[in-house]
Amino acid sequence: MADGGRLRTGGERLTGGLFDHGFYVEPAVVDGLPLDHELFRTELFLPITVIGGVDDLEQALGVANETVYGLTAGIFSEDEEEIQRFFDRIEAGTIYANRRAGATAGAWPGINPFGGWKGSASTGAGAGGPHYLQQFMREQSRLRVF
């Protein structure tokens, strides 16, 4: 890659058979990019993971929160204070700590409300959460004069 990044695996377009009827790519892993690279801030809807080194949690939160999106974020840590700082400062609608499996967006269907913040949502209410029904209601003020 011209910007110093390295494609570690995947990223090839899949072709042949059913793959000729759409746009399919192999899951990709990229590293070595500068932390201000657009791949750290762009929601591609592709199977891609971009890996970047940071010095500490504060820098990681800064990089993560620079994006205009905020669907899901997670942390792996054994430090309760670090996990709480992450939960308090990350700008995403579905967040978790030490979760190794589940839905790709982080929410368990039927258990966790699903919704994003910033450019990853149309409202602040997660699907299935206590405020979700309000998205389907219309407020109306009526005045009738005789």
The pLDDT tens digits of the residues spanning 11-70 come to: 999 999 999 999 899 999 999 999 999 999 887 778 899 999 999 999 999 999 998 888
Nearest to 114 by CA among 99, 130, 128: 128
103 confidence band (pLDDT: 50, 70, 90): very low
Q: Does 12 map to a domain?
A: yes
| Domains in the chain, number | 1
In this structure, is the dihedral angle defined by the CA atoms of residues 83, 59, 61 and 104, taken in order, positive or negative? negative
| Cβ-proximal residues to 60 (8 Å cutoff; 6+ apart), any chain | 54
Is pLDDT at 74 greater than 80 in this prediction?
yes
Q: Does 143 map to a domain?
A: no
Q: Does 145 map to a domain?
A: no
Q: Does 142 map to a domain?
A: no
Provide the mean pLDDT of the chain. Answer: 83
CA distance 20 to 113: 36
pLDDT of residue 141: 63
- Please give the model's pTM, rounded to 2 decimal places: 0.72
Alpha helices of 5-100 — where are they, by DSSP H? 57-65, 80-89
Per-residue exposure over 80-94, b if at least 16 CB sit within 10 Å of its own CB, e if not? eeebebbeeebbbbb
Q: Does 112 map to a domain?
A: yes
Q: Does 120 map to a domain?
A: yes
The boundaries of the domain holding residue 86 are 6-136
Q: Does 89 map to a domain?
A: yes
Q: Does 100 map to a domain?
A: yes
CA distance 58 to 14: 38
Q: What CATH number has the domain bearing residue 30?
A: 3.40.309.10
Cβ neighbours around 103 below 10 Å, total? 13
